Amino acid sequence: MKKRERKTLFTIYQGVDEAAFELIALATTSQEAWKILKTYDGVDKVKKIRLQALRAQFEVLQQEASETISDYFSQVIFIVHQMRRNGEELKDVRVIEKILRSLDSKFDFIVVAIEESKDLEVMAVEEYMGSLQAYEQRILKKSEGRTLEQALQTKLSSQQNESSRGGPQRGRASTWRGRGGRTSNSN
């Protein structure tokens, strides 16, 4: 019986956040821990205040230009789960609409395609995330190709400049042409 009690208490410990854990850390039985948690989470006023703060966070969420789709989705889903845990009835379609509205402008094309071609009420949030991640990978692949192409072009143009000047200018007497078009050697 003691073993079962310890397992139950351990399971409760594993299922709470740090703030709740601090409250129940001194509980010696699972019933005592559960009673503390009910008191902690059961206060309607606290839940309402917490829910208002979460709603505000949800509304102002905006993807940063440097943020990946998976990072942004994780942030949104984390807030959505907290809202639901505090009693908010938040439908997936509202979450999807929020995500599509708040994506960075580089996703405008895919957002329009998704809104036109797919029924937002039928698909799961994860399916949208998959579509957006595939698009993001295509964008990254194209930009990597452009970066490599630009680097090679720069190297090629610098090599062409060196060969047209007769190679690198190091170690030679410097010659310069002034405004008058004359050439003079430095002493």
| Tokens matching residue 162 | 């060196």
pLDDT at 187 over 50: no
Short-list 36, 22, 28, CA closest to 8: 28
For the segment 124-154, what is each residue's pLDDT rounded down to a tens digit? 788 888 888 888 888 888 777 666 566 666 7
Residue 132 CA to residue 71 CA, distance in Å, equals: 12
In the three-class reduction of DSSP (H, G, I as helix; E, B as strand; rest coil), residue 165 is classed as coil
Contact 183, 177 (CB under 8 A): yes
Query: Residue for token digits 């956040």?
Result: 17
Structural domains in the chain, sorted by start = 1-42 (no CATH), 43-153 (1.10.1200)
For the segment 59-71, what is each residue's pLDDT rounded down to a tens digit? 999 999 888 888 9
Residue 139 CA to residue 109 CA, distance in Å, equals: 12
pLDDT at 170 over 60: no
- Give the CA angle between residues 185, 168, 186 to the nearest 5°: 10
| Tokens matching residue 178 | 């002034």
